[in-house]
Amino acid sequence: MSGGLAIEILSAVSYDLRRPMPAFDIDSYVGRSRAVDLAAIDWAAVPRHPVPSEALRTMRFMQDIESHTIIYLRSLLATRAIDDPDVATFLACWVYEETFHGLALQRFLEAAGAPVGERALPRGREPWAKRIEAAATAMVSKAWPDFCAVHMTWGAINELTTLTGYRRLAALTDHPVLAELLDRIVLDESRHFFFYYRQAEIRMQRRAVARTARVLVDRFWAPVGSGVQPDAELRFLATYLFKGPDGRAAARKVDETIRRLPGFETVQLLEAWMDRHIPHATPLDEPARDDAVPEPARDAVHEGGRNGHGNH
């Protein structure tokens, strides 16, 4: 692969993945780790600009996943991931930052008149499938000393997908406060991505490790939010953010970046998932999971959204 190796996160931040593995500076990351600054956001200005109903629905999904991080941490703590001091330190800061992403999105949704409301299930009560998955993960981790390579790869894919999703959301909406908030969140996600990516790259220099990690990703990977949010919501979000030429290009960039990891040159991720689950004719007309989106916003779904970003 030649072009497109540098990944630009924001205009001011880009990582050149061509460089020979500069170490991730964990001390500098810890020094800079802080909650997204909620006081710096002009919440009062949120209702002054329209938010497409698709964007509100997408943000509800994202808010749920961000605030699910603490639950994901529970299964992570049962694996070897925390044996590595750098990984353990990173995870402590990571969960803190992710938690604030959830709070920030919650605050935005409230300000936009579409509050998150009560959850159907208490946070700690996960579906059976998720609990079995966590138990199986802990078992594999015990049996395989290099299991952390899979976690790091998984993390790299998820962080890159997430930050790409936020950038797409910013591009699809024309809301100055949301743009400001998403810029701040994306900056955090980019640091998370870089940590996971470098960790995965280093660990998978050993071919046997890379081969096993690849088998597990091929077999078990699914986009962020799978199994936590209903499938219909995941399809809705994927259709809104990644359909159409620009969305496709963004999804492809995620896949191409991950293919630079040792042993992952041919891995099939987001685009292949889109091909399997979002047929080209899919319109954005799946019903919302509840009626929390306000009436005027819901009407906009059928009009292609207030900003005209309906069916791609």
Residue partners of 99: CB distance under 8 A and separation at least 6: 35, 66, 67, 69, 70
Tell the smallest beta-carbon distance from residue 185 to Fe ion (Å). Answer: 6
Smallest gap from Cβ 265 to Fe ion, in A, equals 25
Q: How many C-beta atoms surround the C-beta of residue 9 within 10 A? A: 20
- In the complex with Fe ion, the residue whose CB is nearer, 36 or 284, is 36
| Residue closer to Fe ion (CB basis): 35 or 132 | 35
Q: Which residue has the tokens 């750098």?
A: 86
Q: How far is the CB of 157 from Fe ion (least distance, A)?
A: 12
Residue 292 is inside which H or E element, if any? none
Strand partners, 14: 8
Q: Which residues bind Fe ion (CB under 5 A)?
A: 66, 98, 101, 159, 189, 192
Q: For the CB of residue 201, give the shortest distance to Fe ion in the complex, in Å.
A: 18
Q: Which is nearer to Fe ion, 98 or 201 (CB)?
A: 98
Is the distance from CB of 263 to CB of 187 less than 8 angstroms?
no
State the minimum distance, in angstroms, from the CB of residue 144 to Fe ion: 25
The stretches of 48-147 forming alpha helices (DSSP H) are 53-67, 69-77, 85-111, 128-143
CA distance 39 to 32: 18
* Minimal distance, residue 245 CB to Fe ion, in Å: 26
Which residue's CB is nearer to Fe ion, number 103 or number 140?
Answer: 103
Q: Which is closer to Fe ion, CB of 163 or CB of 210?
A: 163
Q: State the nearest-atom distance from the C-beta of 36 to Fe ion, in Å.
A: 9
The two tokens of residue 114 are: 């579409």
Taken in order 63, 26, 150, 263, the sign of the CA dihedral is positive
Q: Which of 94, 97, 103, 95 has its CA nearest to residue 39?
A: 103
Q: Please give the angle made by the CA atoms of 267, 283 and 237, to the nearest 5 degrees.
A: 50
Minimum Å gap between C-beta 246 and Fe ion is 22
**Longest alpha-carbon distance in the chain:** 55
In angstroms, the CA 77 to CA 148 distance is 12
CA Rg, the chain, in Å?
19
- Between CA 23 and CA 89 the distance in angstroms is 15
Least distance between Fe ion and beta carbon 165 (Å): 10
Task: Please tell me the distance from the alpha carbon of residue 218 to that of residue 182, in angstroms, as a whole number.
Answer: 30
